[in-house]
A and B are shown apart, each in its own frame.
Chain A
Amino acid sequence: MKPPPFDYCSPSTVEEVVDLLGRHGADARILAGGQSLVPLMNLRLMRPGVLIDLNRCRELDYIEHRGDELAFGPMVRQIKAAQSPLVRQHCPLVAQALSWAGPVAVRSRATVGGTLAHADRVAELPAAALALDATMVIQGPRGRREVPAQAFFLGDLTTAVEPDEFLREIRFPVAAPGARSHFCEVSVRQEGVAVVGVAMHLDMVGDRIAKAAVVAMGVDAIPQRLMQVEQALQARALDAQTAELASRCAFDQVDPATDPYASAGYRRHVVAQLVGRALHSIAAQESLYEQ
């Protein structure tokens, strides 16, 4: 449990980061909070030749309200993001998802950008990013590009970020007035790796669902957008019938696999239950802004 050797770089500006990525490319890895990368290095499952540590890049640690978006620097610590009044008001699903993202000592180091770029199949924030149609800003020697969350997650631990690029910024749309959201997951123990989870965000018009975003995690190699559920929720009221309909729809849409921790049937059943639960919980919320 000792990491393999590497060269260590600790740039203090984005310019230096881009320069280092351009020079080392495929041999380099970005070190953000280190809560996923360092265990893998200690287990020698990852062995970057060069580690580019972003922790001294002060300019990457910000949460900014810009028009109808909330922009996150990748180095925002998860615990700060979850506690931020801006985030709780404008992107409640992000705060909700992060509250499930591991014990305090992990979340106090782990970053918003790190967990998205790591893209573990049962990490919480990728599911929320997908549900909210977040915009991922990727930067490298060829400049900046923007990738929607839908095109960002390519597989378990695989994203659209090229080896000589890094995740420069994440922009989440600000929730519309009256919007409601919920995140829930199930693990074998209370504080543990998720088996399945659901992220849900609903735009409301009056007491009707105007637009639904529903994402399941733990049913595929990347979080899965449950389109049929989203369509079924369109224009419906937040009631038990809607929850039941959505739950059945989710059951029909997912096709998970069995692993040592849970059967395929379990994942399917529980995702359906969590979709129903999320709707019940959302229905019980007074209003988004009181969270």
Chain B
Amino acid sequence: MSNEMITVALTVNGQPMSAQAEPRMLLADFIRHRLRLTGTHVGCAHGACGACTVQVEGEPARSCLMFAVQADGCAIETVESLADDDSLSPLQEEFRNHHALQCGFCTPGMLMSAHALLSRKRDPSEAEIRREIAGNLCRCTGYNNIVKAIQATARRLQADPELKP
């Protein structure tokens, strides 16, 4: 049973991709080790730390709690989607400006949660920001600089309706 390989074809960061996976392979492992997009990190593999957060069909999701086969045909966005070759996205820039990362391990998941929030709501309140990232654990920063970075991005988004987070 069950060790047979299944082809998983999906769109990752706008690019069609496909690779083989046995049914039990976690989406996080698939993204990292089959597709070699290692920006998405695994911090707990039980859905409690948020480091592996990606967006599945535009909604934030823990990639450690999905099987790769479930993502067949889906559109997935990972941290690698945020910047272009030349420049960081506004959210990433504000993370740097506000020293919103130290060891950086939680950062990709934190960015994907914050990006999902700002994509949905360009003027979140501080309480909404804290609530939104409450599922993303960070052990280094104490969070306040992360909240400030998201607030600063929100201000830029409000000042420029064309801007994407």
Sampled A-B contacts (21; CB under 8 Å):
A2-B26, A5-B2, A5-B22, A5-B24, A7-B1, A7-B23, A8-B2, A34-B67, A39-B47, A42-B26, A42-B64, A51-B67, A77-B59, A79-B59, A104-B116, A105-B50, A105-B61, A105-B62, A109-B59, A109-B62, A109-B66
CB interface residues, A 102-119, toward B, < 8 Å? 102-106, 108-109
**Seed contacts A8-B23, A38-B26, A105-B61; 18 additional CB < 8 Å A-B pairs:** A1-B46, A5-B2, A10-B69, A31-B70, A34-B66, A39-B46, A39-B47, A39-B65, A49-B1, A103-B132, A104-B116, A104-B117, A104-B132, A104-B135, A105-B50, A108-B59, A190-B134, A191-B134
Q: Does A55 contact B (CB under 8 A)?
A: yes
Min CB distance B50 to A, Å, is 6
What separation, in Å, do the CA atoms of A104 and B23 have in the docked complex?
Answer: 26
In the complex, A108 Cα to B47 Cα: how many Å?
13
**B112 smallest CB distance to A (angstroms):** 8
Task: Give the residues in chain A near B151, CB-CB below 8 Å.
Answer: none
List residues of chain B with CB within 8 A of the CB of A289: none
Q: Is the CB of B134 within 8 A of A103?
A: yes
CB neighbours of A2 from chain B (8 A):
24, 26, 45
The contact of A42 among B46, B69, B113, by CB within 8 Å, is B46
Q: Which 8 A-B pairs have the closest CB atoms?
A: A103-B135, A8-B23, A1-B45, A191-B134, A5-B2, A39-B46, A105-B60, A108-B59
Q: Are the CB atoms of A106 and B70 closer together than 8 Å?
A: no
Contacts of B60 in A (CB 8 A): 104-105, 108
**Shortest distance from the beta carbon of A169 to any chain B beta carbon, whole Å:** 23
Interface size on B, residues (CB 8 A): 34
Most buried by B among A34, A55, A104, A190: A104
Find residues 66-98 in chain B having any chain A CB closer than 8 Å to their own CB. Answer: 66-67, 69-70
Q: Report A185-204 CB contacts with B as 1/0, cut-off 8 Å.
A: 00000110000000000000
Chain A positions near chain B (C-beta within 8 angstroms): 1-8, 10, 31, 34-35, 38-39, 42-43, 49, 51, 53, 55, 77, 79, 102-106, 108-109, 190-191
Min C-beta distance of B114 to chain A, whole Å? 11
Return chain B residues, CB-CB under 8 Å to A10.
69-70
- Which of the listed residues B3, B67, B69, B132 has the most CB atoms from chain A within 10 Å of its own CB? B67
**For window 120-155 of chain B, which residues contact chain A by CB distance below 8 Å?**
131-132, 134-136
| Closest residue of B by beta carbon distance from A36 | B47
Among A7, A31, A42, A108, contact of B61 (Cβ-Cβ < 8 Å)? A108
Nearest B-chain residue to A38, judged by Cβ: B65
Contact B113 A8 (CB under 8 A): no
